[in-house]
Amino acid sequence: MIDKFRGKYFFLSNFYVAPVEYQGLTYQNNEAAFQSAKAKIKKDKEKFIDLLAAEAKKLGRQIELRDDWEDVKIDVMHEICMAKFTQNLLLKEKLLATGTEELVEGNNHGDTFWGCVNGKGENHLGKILMKVREELS
């Protein structure tokens, strides 16, 4: 089991710097692409293009959310993760090299939706990455 996306496995993190094109815009990392996808208007989406992941996460808390966000956020994350690993071939190889390992986004910042804290959580990001790995193999 890979239980945290740091060190050797930091490339699995949405904070890893790897350009990703999503819906016609190119972002510096998955976090920026994901946070921009929350935006109701295109002008807000464009604000995320050059942001580091932490800056994007902060801005994502300040924009007006699209009305269907809670219904689509898991599918959006899947699309963005698929884009990251199909557009960055070295990262695709590294993801595939994780084989059949369970991927768990272990964290200590309290995110039990996308990851797990002390072994508890829904781990949606880990599940999405395992699905992407399966789809790419």
pTM of the model: 0.96
Residue 123 CB-density burial (10 A; 0-12 exposed, 13-18 middle, 19+ buried): buried
Q: In which band, very low, low, confident or very high, does the pLDDT at 14 lie, cut at 50, 70 and 90? A: very high
pLDDT value at residue 41: 93
- The mean pLDDT of 102-113, rounded to a whole number, is 95
- Return the residue matching tokens 């932490």: 54
Whether the CA torsion 81, 50, 24, 32 is positive or negative: it is positive
Rounded Cα distance between 1 and 7, Å, is 15
Number of separate helices (H) and strands (E) present in the chain: 6, 2
Is residue 56 within 8 A of residue 30, CB to CB? The reply is no
Mean pLDDT of the chain: 97
| pLDDT score for 31 | 98
Predicted local distance difference test score (pLDDT) of residue 120: 96
Q: What is the pLDDT of residues 35-93, one digit of tens each?
A: 999 999 999 999 999 999 999 999 999 999 999 999 999 999 999 999 999 999 999 99
